[in-house]
Amino acid sequence: MRHRLVLLVALLSIAASTFSQTPATAALKEVHGVGLKTLREPQLVELTGLAIGSQVARADLQAAADILLRSGLFAKVNYSFNTKNDAVIVTYTVEENPRLKVTFDNFPWFSDSELGDAIRRDLPFYDGTLPEGGTVVDIAGNSIAAFLASKGTVATVGHEVIVNPLADGSLQQFHVEGIAPKIASIEFSDPNLKDDKAVLQHMPEIRGKPYSRMAIDIFLAESIRPIYQELGNLRATLGPPEVRLTGNPNQKLPEQIPVFVPCTPGGVYQWQGLTWSGNSALSAITLTTTAGMKPGEVANGIKIEQGWDQVRDAYGHLGFLEAKLNPVPIYDDQAHKVSYNVSVVEGTQYHFSTMTITGMSLAGEKLIRDAWPQTPGEVFDQKIFDDLLTRLQLPAKRETVFKQLPIHYDTVGHWLQTDSAKGTVDVLLDFK
């Protein structure tokens, strides 16, 4: 027993000695990183600010951990160390934060590569992505501002996380403040777009507006691409948009920005057919008929998208409120034909349970319930719900529900509260 007590005292003495002696500074021999996925160990070492061979105390090691955490690159940072021959070896165990793709919104005078190089001068690890926040994002903004200053423009550079309007996920977007260049013109490489009536009709949406690459990308996706899609040019490519400035680059940055958009229409595709998988509530024949496309006709991209919506509506009519479609195009570039393999996840079939109405008089509530044909336990019909909402939301159709009853409200809040375990759905209506 006495032997165990002496051993315990000795171990405690060693631990206390190590703890108390380390802050008295020792030479930093090695720095290691564990848990790295995107960054490399030398990059982590550089971020800490620690210099191999320098004298460090425990407070310095903690300060370096704090620097890593504030950078925004890491969700968690822990460290451990040991001493050997009066030298310190420290290991930082980290968990990296997700990174977001970086976009530069209103810097029409410079390319992405120039702005990226400006960031890399201060953040050598920059690879086109940054975390949501932290000191490295602020440093990147300052780096861009310094680059602008070197070109004769003093401006503040801001940043914000935005939802990607054209794809899943979010973006880290940088923008210059206090300068408002305008879109002077948009020119397309495809001569067929120059005098296209649909293009000319949409042009005022973007011409003369503040330059924003995000706005241009959305304009191309929502206003120009559908023109190609409707004609069957399913594989048309648009952009990326280019800024073609002329004049002395050392003069004041121009405020009127001409934009050039490379376009490749590609071939016109014909519809070949559909193959379905994962469906059981609706047959492949029914689904194909519902989609509405016929073999041999031009593969109208707009009509194709409408077809997917019609299929989802057909499932909603049968109570499958969460049915998901994954259409994968199969292109035959030689024959210019397209077919689709569509996998279906039908999900739960829901049955109507209850309707809750708030903000409505008792007389008005009774009329709404009279206009609702479904009874508890019936398969829920999304179409019936949508039709009722239309009648409630459009003033011209309200009398089909309320008849001669005077009713006044501005909005109708509406929710479908599903319970997948029970397979039931509650209808919630809130009048204000």
Q: What CATH number is given to the structural domain containing 297?
A: 3.10.20.310
Q: Is residue 294 part of a domain?
A: yes
For residue 5, tell me if it sits in a domain: no
Residue after which a domain boundary falls, among 241, 264, 287 = 264
In this structure, how many other beta carbons lie within 10 angstroms of the beta carbon of residue 58?
Answer: 19
Helix pair 112-122, 135-150: axis angle to 10 deg? 120
- Whether residue 293 lies inside any domain: the answer is yes
Amino acid 239: pLDDT: 84
Same-domain status, 308 and 358: no
**Residue 7 counted as domain residue:** no
pLDDT at residue 296, as a whole number: 93
Examine residue 51 and state whether it is found in any structural domain, yes or no: yes
Residue 247 has a pLDDT of 59
Closest CA to 195 of 207, 205, 206, 203: 203
Same domain, 170 and 191: no
Structure tokens at 318: 């049968």
Structure confidence at residue 249 (pLDDT): 55
**pTM, entire model:** 0.75
pLDDT of residue 6: 31
pLDDT for residue 10: 32
Within the chain, which residues score under 50 in pLDDT? 1-23
Per-residue model confidence (pLDDT) at position 22: 43
**Domain count of the chain?**
5
Residue 323's domain spans which residues?
270-345
Quote the pLDDT of residue 84: 81
| Residue-level pLDDT at 248 | 56
- Residue 3: the pLDDT is 36
Q: Based on the domain organization, do 192 and 241 belong to the same domain?
A: yes
Task: Tell me: do 115 and 87 sit in the same domain.
Answer: no
Show which of 203, 235, 264 is a domain's final residue.
264
Write the pLDDT tens digit of every residue in 201-220. 999 999 999 999 999 999 99
